[in-house]
Amino acid sequence: MGLLSTLLWTPALGVLLLAIIPCQNANFIRLTANLFALLTFLLGCWLLSLYDTHDAALQFNEYFPLNPNLGSAYALGVDGLSMPMLVLASLLTSVALLASLTISTSVKGYHICILLLEFGMLGVFLAQDWALFYIFWEVTLIPLFFLIGRWGGKRRHAASLNFVLYTMGGSVFMLMSLLAVSQYDLQHGGSLMTSMHQAAQDMPLYEQVLVLVGFLLGFGVKLPIFPLHGWLPLAHVEAPSPVSILLSGILLKMGAYGLLRVVVMLPEAARLLQPLLIFLGLFGMLYGGLLAWRQSNLKAMVAYSSISHMGIVLLGIASLNEAGINGAVLQMTAHGLIAGALFLLIGLLYQRTHTLDIQHYSSLLQAMPRFALMMIVTLFAAMGLPGFVGFIAELHTLIGCFEQWRWLPVFFGIGMLITAAYSVRTIGLLFTGPAKPRMQGLEDLRPSELLASGVLVAGIILLGLLPARWIDVSSGTLVQLNGLIKQRTL
């Protein structure tokens, strides 16, 4: 078994072991799930240390034919686009499990669902066969449906049903596009990029556009883009906070990752649809920011801010140049860390106060100084201030957009100002003002909670101060992808 298969199947092995552990041993179940998540993260870090940043091709390839007649195969590979997402997915899964110590009902089923979700997410980023990619994409729906519907809030059933219906509806359009691509004589044994590139050479332009629209609808639900975002606010508000960490930190990135793959391989269609992509990205950025600014519910605020920040990702992809796509990849990492930290900290605060209304808080700086430090740093990063990873990502995206459209930075700046407005308002309402009696005596972050939040905040700061190594991970692949775009569109 190769390194990629070991990484992929480690969470699945954890699921099998959890299945045979008696339900009464809740602490042993938690320990086992955390150990397998930590092992997966360590394997991801080992893979990162072995990864050659100067090689733009797929690395650590594994290929086993499954059905030669249909051309499907168990094909795994990693490049500069998938490598950051693998590390991020395994890191956030470990953090989510650390934050799950308060789960007291159906502990065994909960941890099985989390590890099964990690298995599906890793499969999406590793798969190099479209059939395998689609299977892993659908696998993630099953555990998320139960995680939201079983352990969520009062409206959890509506939230889980909305999520599944939206995602399955998008999957229909994705499947139609995949079937359209499969009508061409693809060269099996290659990668997702190779297969799509070959198909694009044979497809008429109008068909490329239709295929890209199908993928845009399929991936746009997860991204999410307006108006396919309807499931997101309700799902985030009702889901347990550890699940929101994965939902916002990784699941949204699956949509961006898939869209980035097909846009690069269908650049002529992407160039024709570029005005639409620009509009959707810019509208999402401003629309999500304005709705986040209007929210008094903390989780709803972060949910709508995710729409705004993923709009920046879409703008980077729509630029169709190296700087913009680099910014999109960096923003995917930045948003994963920032949104993950925000949902984690808000969830910990909710456990202590049982309210998400920001108007109920004040002067938490005195009662919870460690919490205040983590929250303020994360909100500063969300604003895109220099010294944090959000600034590096937004700067690259802004440069890529400026190369294409000189007027766009004006609206980009407005979006950043809106983000700053609701972030500063949140800091002011949470940590300043007259002390409220019910907010006095709250317990500060415990050691395990401080570890979970500290890891994410450390990543936000380190990648902001020392971004070069992380940028190098994707640079070789991005240079190659940019060459493919120029070759087909010039």
Sequential pLDDT tens for the chain (490 residues): 789 999 999 999 999 999 999 988 889 999 999 999 999 999 999 999 999 988 888 889 898 887 766 667 788 999 999 999 999 999 999 999 999 988 888 899 999 999 999 999 999 999 988 888 999 999 999 999 999 999 988 888 899 999 889 988 889 999 898 888 777 655 554 555 566 666 666 788 888 899 999 999 999 998 888 888 888 888 988 899 999 999 999 999 999 999 998 888 888 898 999 999 999 999 999 999 999 999 999 999 999 999 999 999 999 999 888 888 999 999 999 999 999 999 999 999 998 888 889 988 888 888 899 999 999 999 999 998 998 998 999 999 989 888 878 887 888 889 889 999 999 999 999 988 787 777 778 888 989 899 999 999 999 999 999 998 899 999 888 888 888 777 776 6
Q: What is the pLDDT of residue 194?
A: 62
CA distance 450 to 457: 10
> What predicted TM-score, i.e. pTM, was given to this entire model?
0.93
143 to 151, 235, 340: CA distances (angstroms): 11, 14, 19
Could you tell me which residues come within 8 angstroms of residue 468 by beta carbon, excluding any fewer than 6 positions away? none
Nearest-5° angle of CA 364, CA 367, CA 372?
A: 50
CA distance 194 to 198: 6
CA distance 434 to 126: 51
Q: What is the pLDDT of residue 195?
A: 62
- Nearest alpha-carbon partner for 41 in 471, 466, 456: 456
- Nearest alpha-carbon partner for 98 in 251, 242, 237: 242
CA distance 93 to 374: 19
Do 265 and 487 meet the contact criterion of CB atoms below 8 Å apart?
no
Would you state the torsion angle of the CA atoms of residues 15, 10, 132, 244, taken in this order, to the nearest 10 degrees? 60
CA distance 453 to 340: 9
User: Could you say which DSSP state residue 443 is in?
Assistant: -
**Which pair of tokens denotes residue 463?**
């990648």
CA distance 243 to 249: 10
Nearest-5° angle of CA 473, CA 475, CA 476?
A: 95
The burial class, CB within 10 Å (0-12 / 13-18 / 19+), for 411 is middle
User: Could you say which DSSP state residue 249 is in?
Assistant: I
Do 178 and 70 meet the contact criterion of CB atoms below 8 Å apart?
no
CA distance 356 to 350: 6
Could you tell me which residues come within 8 angstroms of residue 324 by beta carbon, excluding any fewer than 6 positions away? 315, 316, 317, 318, 396, 397, 399, 400, 401, 403, 404
CA distance 349 to 321: 41
CA distance 8 to 4: 6
CA distance 336 to 323: 20
Q: What is the pLDDT of residue 298?
A: 92
Coil, helix or strand for 60?
A: strand
Do 125 and 257 meet the contact criterion of CB atoms below 8 Å apart?
yes
Do 238 and 152 meet the contact criterion of CB atoms below 8 Å apart?
yes
Q: What is the pLDDT of residue 330?
A: 93
Residue in the structure block whose two tokens are 């006095």: 440
Q: What is the pLDDT of residue 179?
A: 82
The burial class, CB within 10 Å (0-12 / 13-18 / 19+), for 17 is middle
User: Could you say which DSSP state residue 436 is in?
Assistant: P
How many residues are present in the chain? 490
Residue in the structure block whose two tokens are 């740093």: 377
**Which pair of tokens denotes residue 487?**
């070759």
CA distance 107 to 101: 9
Residue in the structure block whose two tokens are 């190098």: 472
Do 344 and 95 meet the contact criterion of CB atoms below 8 Å apart?
yes
